[in-house]
Structure 1
Amino acid sequence: MTVSLPPSPHWPELIKSGSRVFVGGNAAVPYALIQHLIDHSTGFTDIELVHMLTLGDTRWAREEYRALFKANTFFIGGDEVRKAVDEGRADYTPCFLSEISGLFSDGTLPLDAALVNVSPPDPFGYCSLGTSVDICMSAVRQAGKVIAQINKQVPRTAGHSYIHISEIDACLEADEPLVEVPTPPIDSVTERIGQYVAMLVENGATLQFGIGKIPSATLKYLTKHQDLGIHSEMLTDSILAPLEAGAITNRKKTFHPGKVVTSFAIGTQRLYDLIDNNPHIEFYPSSYVNKPANIAKNDNMIAINSALEVDLTGQVVADSLGHDFYSGIGGQVDFVSGAAMSKNGKAIIALPSTAANETVSRITACVTPGAGVVTSRGNVQYVVTEYGIASLKGKSIRERALELIRVAHPKFRAGLLEEVRQHYWVPHYQAKYPTDIPELGDIQLKKLTLQGDNFYMRPLNPADERRLQEFFYSHTKETLRLRYNHDPKQMSRAKSCNLVSVDQSTDAALCIVRQEGSRITIHAVGRFYYNPHDNSCEAAFVTRENQQGKGMAKRLLSQLIDIARQRGIDRMVAMVRADNRPMIKIFEQANFTRRVSDDPSDVELQLSLEKDA
């Protein structure tokens, strides 16, 4: 079957001065077509170019073309566009990615024409929008005229990515490589963030992620997972490693099972080759992919997005640096909302704790003046930095502040606690800010599997105040008697706060928790108190009754012994009631020896930590 191509563009028949013209974006900008318009622009003025993120040479935004074009972008990217927005020669229109198509269809932003980059037609006359279906398909459907760059280097992608040659009013045949964006190198900070985010991803989860170091680091640590799925507004080269490792199968997806679902791709030629004629990867318009109700149809939906800053109440700034607009809303709110509605879904905001060579904290007491909140404090469930995971869902303002201070850079934590006192109620007894245990290394969270159940071991911190109080009130009288040598009746918030506010560089306090979504339950606590007068420490433990016998105390003791040894402490001692035989056994299995005690009801145990012991 022979397919006839439309005529070459004769621009006066397609647009006029003052027209609003859509330009295909991301990696598929039709550069040759735009240059053809520039070369034949005599008599044209004030053409509004509407687009998403545009990569590569955004020549239309240069100062020299200010009389010819004015850009109106939904997502700021590239030096030329960003400079034009800063100087007022271009506009930024904030909008959820899922709703941009509606601006074209309801007449808010009617389009006179659409310039798109497409593959050559197949024998039946169908061209593919390739790497950029997103809002391009909607623009093609709504624009008065469709002008296409027929480009042999545009891959043919599956899904709803096809337009028929009869829908194209004019075309220019021009082969141009798509813009390539290689995976950025992963530094130590993003490596740690990726490890923490990966801990929140269970086997069988469906993922959404963006571009940059953090998604790359996260997906690197998901290669050993099983049956992961992808429902994401975009694909990058980060998907290649887990795909090749067999971690991504889409088998457990509950919406489009067996398929990767996306709306645009930005990467290298390896990615573009992967999606070319690949029936397992389907592209759909953003109005479909980013619709929160569709996202929520995926059980175990994990949305991983980033931010420029997060304040201590959980407000997320993602498109502006103060008064300077930097990027755009994009699909963050769409996927945060969809993941929150998903069964067992998780909405994660991941970002480095600092900027500007560690001189600026990205965890802030208040939003920077002029900055806009993209995702509200009511939407965010988790905030992850290189210092850990802050769980915010269901937390009070004070609890949120403590959680977020814990994952801030250590040198900013004291200042953040003081700042938060000026704005939100913090009790007088909340005197200490969270500290890390240096001996645990970069990753303070350790995943444990005990008798088939998953738990985490981590430092106890001030945000655990209420959780420790609940832990105390879960104990039976017998447990309290064995642990405290009497039957305490109360664990006040002030006392609980004192127990969780630990200077972890001197003493050490660990807990083992189970995290189910945003629900965190303490199941065991172990600690030692340092005695500087003889360079010793005293250890103590308590385990929730229904978890006893799983080895939690043994794990905590082993970790505390390791910490004490690294600190050069000479010996560890413990005082245990003589009738607490299970606890005595745990200490003796760790090579503690009994010492003579003045009180026959107590057993004193000791372990030498010196190197020659």
Structure 2
Amino acid sequence: MSYQALYQQKKMAPFDAIRVVRNGDTIVVPTAVGEPPSLLTALSEARRDFRNVTVSQILAVRKYGYLDPETVDNVRHTAYFYSGATRPGAKEGWVDFIPAYFSEMPQLIERGLMPADVVFSMASPMDEHGYFSLALAADYTMAAIEKARVVVLEVNPNVPFANGDCHIHISQVAALCESEEPILEVGLPKIGPVQEAIGRYVAEMIPDGATLQIGYGGIPDAVVMQLTDKHDLGVHTEMVGDGIMTLVEAGVVTNRRKNYHHGKMLATFALGSKKLYQFMHRNPALEMHPVDFTNDPYLAGQNDNLHAINATMQIDFLGQCGSESLGPIPYSGTGGQSDFVRAANRSKGGKAFIVLPSTAKDDTISRIVPTLSPGTHVSTSKNDINYVVTEHGVAQLRGKTAKQRCEALIGIAHPDFRGELREAAKKLKLL
């Protein structure tokens, strides 16, 4: 049977495609815009037909009908990383989560520690060889495909066909549906003077020829905007976004001085504009790979001069970072921050930056604190943190004593809080 005949045989309406799901199944869905809206909408509409079905995903970007406290016994959500769509359910207790390093999720799936019975994913149109590209998110989804009983694709002509280890063959697909709606676009975060100041400090420390990992957020994007005078930068990251695309178009990113996967940008998921998704299509300079390849600290650390830029919400005097909760209240997840901090620390000439504004809530709260707020989830440990950057400067922590760290962090705190931070440090015998 030809690939096209097989395709037509497996094509059906979304409401029919979801019938491959059995009671008790866990459905694995890719990161962010890799989620298939037609399939998840159909599942939502039919959710009362199922019992004890779980949808597991990093960063859900739409508020589907199944995200409903009244029907959690039918279909519930388990987050690998919270988002605006899942955070309310987390606060109320009817959305659960699995703590894990992003880089280790494929291994957890392969070993059966994280269930994966069904995969729902967006996909590009099929090529002449019978392959689809999961360009928007290879992440943990490729591992889930190998483990799952069935795979269901939502094929959309707006999904790029990217290079890399992100392809699935029609013979591996149980059912598919088609859609043509535009891929969800996510704009750049708002950048103000505080973000610009932090970005300036970081940009000054990034040399020509460096390889970049850039997290999501206003401050990382502010760094990107101030790199336009650099030369021959490379990219090895988890997320490819519009900022990186802008640097490529400006001739700043060439990947020519990369020693690991020379000439190639590597990422595991995409989040940005329609222009970004078009930029990814059959681009020979870009490869999308599973997250255990892009984020593994040993592999990523083989890039010389790897510079990793990630944000946190709170940091204490020892350097512990609370990047994923507000006290005990969950906000996001561990993601790849710790992966890339460790990778940059391993890298010859590498630097790991943790960036944060010095204050929150209109300058009424210091983000640099003596101890993390009770119940805060520690995302990156004191042993891994190196450069911490606020709008007031840079504190370098690795190799420093607890007292030296405390002094350096108070030095980049907001001036209005330095006095009380010093008094707190004296009580802790750190000054």
Q: Same fold (TM over 0.5)?
A: yes
Q: CA deviation at 1:183?
A: 1.0
| Structure 1 counterpart of 2:276 | 271
Give yes or no for contact 1:305–1:348 (8 Å, CA) kept in 2: yes
Amino acid at match of 1:3: Q
| Structure 2 counterpart of 1:404 | 409
Amino acid at match of 1:115: F
Name structure 2 gaps, 5 residues minimum.
none
Q: CA deviation at 1:185?
A: 2.7
Give yes or no for contact 2:217–2:311 (8 Å, CA) kept in 1: no
| Structure 2 counterpart of 1:68 | 74
* SS state at 1:282 partner: strand
Alignment of 1:179-190 (within 5 A): 179-190=184-195
Correspondence for 1:253 among 246, 250, 258: 258
- Given the two structures, how large is their TM-score scaled by the length of structure 1? 0.68
* SS state at 2:55 partner: strand
2:201 is the alignment partner of 1:196 = yes
Q: CA deviation at 1:394?
A: 1.1
Give yes or no for contact 1:119–1:154 (8 Å, CA) kept in 2: yes
Q: CA deviation at 1:42?
A: 5.0
* SS state at 2:122 partner: strand
Write the distance in 1 (CA, Å) between the matches of 2:174 and 2:39: 14
Amino acid at match of 2:344: A
* SS state at 1:73 partner: strand
| Structure 1 counterpart of 2:88 | 83
Give yes or no for contact 2:18–2:43 (8 Å, CA) kept in 1: no
| Bigger Rg, structure 1 or 2 | 1
* SS state at 1:178 partner: coil
* SS state at 1:358 partner: coil
Write the distance in 2 (CA, Å) between the matches of 1:418 and 1:50: 45
| Structure 1 counterpart of 2:223 | 218
Give yes or no for contact 1:7–1:169 (8 Å, CA) kept in 2: no
Amino acid at match of 2:345: A
2:289 is the alignment partner of 1:288 = no
2:246 is the alignment partner of 1:241 = yes
Q: CA deviation at 1:378?
A: 0.9
* SS state at 1:273 partner: helix
Q: CA deviation at 1:89?
A: 0.8
Write the distance in 2 (CA, Å) between the matches of 1:109 and 1:154: 27
2:34 is the alignment partner of 1:19 = no
2:207 is the alignment partner of 1:206 = no
Write the distance in 2 (CA, Å) between the matches of 1:142 and 1:318: 31
- Given the two structures, how large is their TM-score scaled by the length of structure 2? 0.96
Q: CA deviation at 1:64?
A: 4.4
CA deviation digits over 1:218-246, x for unaligned, max 9? 01111100111000000111113322221
CA deviation digits over 1:140-179, x for unaligned, max 9? 1211110111111111111111100111001111222211
In 2 relative to 1, CA 42–368 (structure 1 residues): closer, same or farther, beyond 3 Å? closer
In 2 relative to 1, CA 12–172 (structure 1 residues): closer, same or farther, beyond 3 Å? closer
Write the distance in 2 (CA, Å) between the matches of 1:177 and 1:127: 18
Amino acid at match of 1:241: T
Amino acid at match of 1:26: A
CA deviation digits over 1:92-139, x for unaligned, max 9? 111000101112110112311110110110111110102111111111
Q: CA deviation at 1:59?
A: 3.3
| Structure 2 counterpart of 1:262 | 267
* SS state at 1:250 partner: coil
Alignment of 1:8-407 (within 5 A): 8=12, 10=16, 14-78=20-84, 80-407=85-412
* Higher mean displacement: 80-89 or 412-421: 80-89
**% of aligned pairs identical?**
38
Write the distance in 1 (CA, Å) between the matches of 2:19 and 2:311: 44
Write the distance in 2 (CA, Å) between the matches of 1:87 and 1:132: 29
Give yes or no for contact 1:215–1:238 (8 Å, CA) kept in 2: no
Write the distance in 1 (CA, Å) between the matches of 2:46 and 2:63: 19
Amino acid at match of 2:78: N
CA RMSD, 1 decimal:
1.4
CA deviation digits over 1:471-524, x for unaligned, max 9? xxxxxxxxxxxxxxxxxxxxxxxxxxxxxxxxxxxxxxxxxxxxxxxxxxxxxx
Q: CA deviation at 1:381?
A: 0.8
* SS state at 1:214 partner: helix
Give yes or no for contact 2:17–2:177 (8 Å, CA) kept in 1: no
Q: CA deviation at 1:370?
A: 0.6
Give yes or no for contact 1:364–1:416 (8 Å, CA) kept in 2: yes
* SS state at 2:145 partner: helix
Q: CA deviation at 1:25?
A: 2.6
Q: CA deviation at 1:57?
A: 3.1
How many aligned positions are there?
A: 425
User: Which one has more relative contact order, counting CA pairs under 8 Å at least 6 apart?
Assistant: 2
Q: CA deviation at 1:41?
A: 4.1
